[in-house]
Amino acid sequence: MYLLDLQGVSKIYGSVKALYGIDLTVEKGEWLAIMGPSGSGKTTMMNIIGCMDKPSEGKVLLGGVDISAESARSLTAVRREKIGLIFQQFHLINYLTALENVMVAQYYHSMPDEKEALQALDRVGLSDRAKHLPAQLSGGEQQRVCIARALINYPMLVLADEPTGNLDEANEGIVIDIFRKLHDEGITIIVVTHDPEVAEEAQRTVILEHGRIARIVENRK
Amino acid sequence: MIAFTVALGASLATAMLNVMLDVGDKVNRELKTYGANINVIPKEASLLDDLYGVSEGHGVSDRHLRESELGRLKTIFWAFNIVDFTPYLNAEARMSGLDADVRLVGTWFSHREALPTGETLDTGMRNMKSWWSIEGDWLSDGDADAAMVGALLAERAGLSVGDAVALESAGARRELTIKGIFEAGSAEDERVYVPLSVAQEMTGRPGLVSSVEVSALTTPDNELSRRAAQNPKSLSVKEWETWYCTAYVSAICYQIEEVLTDAVAKPIRQVAESEGTILKKTKLLMLLITILSLAGAALGISNLVTAGVMERSREIGLLKALGAGNAPVSWLILMEILITGAVGGAAGYFAGLGFAQIIGRTVFDAAINIKPMVIPLVAILVFLVILTGCVPSIRLLLSLRPAEVLHGR
Ligand SMILES: Nc1ncnc2c1ncn2[C@@H]1O[C@H](COP(=O)(O)OP(=O)(O)O)[C@@H](O)[C@H]1O
Ligand SMILES: [Mg+2]
């Protein structure tokens, strides 16, 4: 059984076919990259996989369960239980400290646990910045808080939409190192990126063009 | 801003509700200062009045009420609504330096009446005619050798404060010093006032009075009270009871007649009626202001909260993306606003008490009694207003889709 199985997935906005007839499978523990020009449907695909949007057609099986027919309410629950989201713009709450930002995810999942949240920050090397507000952190540090937040509830699948798009090279390196570590721990990761160097780190790269899969590249390692 | 809006709404509501609940008394007291609303005269005198249209005031009747019974006015069912009363004893007198007779009136000025209930009541002309303008001083009831003279009479007789004047009535003659000259703007300006006991002594009518003016707080007349006023016997037992136990001016008159021997009590119509109407209109106005101010606050809140939700749409979208359901997120926003609102409401309540006092001072020239029941009332109103104000923003919040706000397209 695949962890993720897209079968003939399409998303149509009026006359725009953002995604069209996508067939794709992802194994548990796999690290997948998605590349493609702007407007090729990468974010649309991530939204559908991340339960933030529904396909117009086709099936999405997550852990063997078809989520394409679920209600908005149960999609919220799936998102909460199974998905970790990492954003290009970090999306931290600016009046909460790094630690509290991580704990927010715990709050809506189960119970805030400060020790566990601190450990998550430690995993991304930020335990000394726990009490800092987002404005007091660099872009790279903010992205690491965002990663800690995505990991806090032990998601089945981590989705990152251009996680290094707003970072300089040094910070990009740090983030890639973290992803490598997560991959070694057996976490399933899907990363959307414009950067071939980031994509090369993944096992496979899916190239999207005009809402279709143009080709899939196996990366040598 | 939300707290401020709530505070503004709450303060207006508090002020208006406090004033409204207290205004019945205030407006009545205010109007009362423009005169008594019930006149009590002896039975036969009233008959003459009815038959010939001759008011007792124009001739001196030999029918009288008893001064000793007056305390009973405060024992009727609506005793608490009797605010003031003053007896008058009328006589014709000859005044030194004038050819024609003048009207001599004995009355209470500031009298302390011991009531049958054991309490005392301070009443008299000074209370009832508070708008009279006085040159010199009011008399006191112990001034046996002094008089007050109306401004027109004083002018005609060339009198001023401090002058002595001789009065002769029913064969008795008295030298009196003029202690005050008053201007009432009505027929009283032609009269001479002395303490009741002096007039009784001069005219040989101890313990008697010709009429009593009563100032009572009344409920506006309605159909029932009008029927009762024409003939109380036409009412059914039930209606009669309702009427008797309501502070209609006719019911109060009826009860006055019950306690005074051979007395007829009549409302002084215009005053009594306008009191009721003005009261109703004032209350309506206050209610309107309350509703409008609360509606304004609700609108203000809904704008502010909606703007707040829009401003925080990214944050709310994020919470939803992290798996927060609609209910918890709505609660979060609602709680925040309710807490802000509670702070604003509390501040507004106290500001409103201040407003109420200012209104009381400037409009009614009296302090407004603070009614504790306004607190829960305002709390509930503020709560409802906030909830109403939050409806549009909660709807916005529910329709907010994380995919759209987070990818900032
Ligand atoms: N909510 C939407 N409404 C209308 N069109 C949309 C919407 N979301 C995406 N699209 C369109 O779908 C296409 C794919 O968009 P997107 O998935 O964001 O591309 P990418 O992330 O690869 O740049 C674009 O042409 C975009 O304009
Ligand atoms: Mg995109």
Token pair, residue B269, equals 């119509």
Which of B322, B326, B398 to substitute to test the interface with A, most A CBs within 10 Å? B322
Tell me if A18 CB under 6 Å of ligand 1: yes
Q: Residues near A116 by Cβ (< 8 Å), separated by ≥ 6?
A: A106, A152
Q: Does B327 touch chain A (CB under 8 A)?
A: no
Token pair, residue A78, equals 């799936």
The rounded distance, in Å, linking the Cα atoms of B32 and B83 is 9
My answer on whether B59 and B199 are in the same domain is yes
Asked if residue B284 is part of any domain, the answer here is yes
Asked if residue A93 is part of any domain, the answer here is yes
Q: What is the pLDDT of residue A12?
A: 94
d(CA B399, ligand 1 centre) in Å: 19
Q: What CATH number does the domain containing A44 carry?
A: 3.40.50.300
Tell me if A88 CB under 6 Å of ligand 1: no
For chain B, first and last CA: distance in Å?
Answer: 30
Domain count, chain B: 2
pLDDT in tens, B176-187: 999 999 988 778
The rounded distance, in Å, linking the Cα atoms of A148 and A142 is 10
Asked if residue B26 is part of any domain, the answer here is no
Token pair, residue B136, equals 């010199």
- Which of B325, B326, B406 lies nearest to residue A91, judging by beta carbons? B406
Asked if residue A204 is part of any domain, the answer here is yes
Token pair, residue A117, equals 């949240």
My answer on whether B14 and B107 are in the same domain is no
Asked if residue A153 is part of any domain, the answer here is yes
Q: What is the pLDDT of residue B53?
A: 47
CB A94 within 8 A of CB A168: no
Looking at chain A, how many residues does it have? 221
Asked if residue B243 is part of any domain, the answer here is yes
My answer on whether B255 and B352 are in the same domain is no
Phi, psi of B365 (to 5 degrees): 60, 40
Ranges under pLDDT 70 in chain A? 221
Asked if residue B365 is part of any domain, the answer here is yes
CA atoms B11, B17, B18, B19: torsion sign: positive
CB A10 within 8 A of CB A19: yes
My answer on whether B6 and B49 are in the same domain is no
Q: Is the pLDDT of residue B60 over 70?
A: no
My answer on whether B230 and B338 are in the same domain is no
Asked if residue B32 is part of any domain, the answer here is no
Q: Name the maximum alpha-carbon separation found in chain A.
A: 50
pLDDT in tens, B296-350: 888 888 888 888 888 888 888 899 998 888 888 889 888 888 888 888 888 888 8
pTM: 0.62
Asked if residue A49 is part of any domain, the answer here is yes
| Among B241, B267, B293, residue at a domain's last position | B267
Residue A86 pairs with which residues in a beta bridge? A160
My answer on whether B360 and B251 are in the same domain is no
Token pair, residue A143, equals 């992205």
My answer on whether B368 and B254 are in the same domain is no
CB B150 within 8 A of CB B190: yes
Asked if residue B29 is part of any domain, the answer here is no
- Chain A residues closer than 8 Å to B332 by CB: none
The larger pLDDT score, comparing residue B170 to residue B397, is at B397
My answer on whether B10 and B131 are in the same domain is no
Asked if residue A34 is part of any domain, the answer here is yes
The rounded distance, in Å, linking the Cα atoms of B284 and B20 is 9
Domain count, chain A: 1
Q: Which helix (H) or strand (E) holds A184?
A: helix A169-184
Token pair, residue B233, equals 């016997």
The rounded distance, in Å, linking the Cα atoms of B379 and B386 is 11
The larger pLDDT score, comparing residue B274 to residue B3, is at B3
Asked if residue B349 is part of any domain, the answer here is yes
Could you say which residues from 388 to 407 on chain B have a Cβ atom under 8 Å away from some Cβ of chain A?
401-403, 406-407
| Among B237, B267, B297, residue at a domain's last position | B267
My answer on whether B395 and B322 are in the same domain is yes
Asked if residue A200 is part of any domain, the answer here is yes
Residue A31 belongs to domain spanning: 27-53+79-218
Exposed/middle/buried for residue B220 (C-beta within 10 Å: 0-12, 13-18, 19+): middle
Pairing type for strands B102-107 and B263-267 reads unpaired
Q: Which helix (H) or strand (E) holds A170?
A: helix A169-184
CB B107 within 8 A of CB B88: yes
d(CA A49, ligand 2 centre) in Å: 14
Asked if residue A9 is part of any domain, the answer here is no
The larger pLDDT score, comparing residue B61 to residue A212, is at A212
My answer on whether B257 and B280 are in the same domain is no
- Please give the share of chain B, as a percent, with pLDDT higher than 90: 12
Asked if residue B122 is part of any domain, the answer here is yes
Q: Name the maximum alpha-carbon separation found in chain B.
A: 109
Residue B207 belongs to domain spanning: 37-267
- Chain A residues closer than 8 Å to B313 by CB: none
pLDDT in tens, B217-242: 877 777 888 888 788 788 888 888 88
Poorest-pLDDT segment among B141-155, B202-216, B257-271, B341-355: B257-271
Q: What is the pLDDT of residue B33?
A: 47
ipTM of the shown complex = 0.89
My answer on whether B291 and B232 are in the same domain is no
My answer on whether B129 and B205 are in the same domain is yes
Q: What is the pLDDT of residue B59?
A: 47
Asked if residue A6 is part of any domain, the answer here is no
3-state SS record for chain B: CHHHHHHHHHHHHHHHHHHHHHHHHHHHHHHHCCCCCEEEEEHHHHHHHHHHCCCCCCCCCCCCEEHHHHHHHHHCCCHHHEEEEEEEEEEEEEECCCCCCEEEEEECCCEEEECCCCCEEEECHHHHCCCCEEEECCCCCCCCCEEEEEHHHHHHHCCCCCCEEEEEECCEEEEEEEEEEEECCCHHHHEEEEEHHHHHHHHCCCCEECEEEEEECCECCCHHHHHHHHCHHHCCHHHHHHHHCCCEHHHHHHHHHHHCCCEEEEECHHHHHHHHHHHHHHHHHHHHHHHHHHHHHHHHHHHHHHHHHHHCHHHHHHHHHCCCCHHHHHHHHHHHHHHHHHHHHHHHHHHHHHHHHHHHHHHHCCCCCCCCCHHHHHHHHHHHHHHHHHHHHHHHHHHCCHHHHHCCC
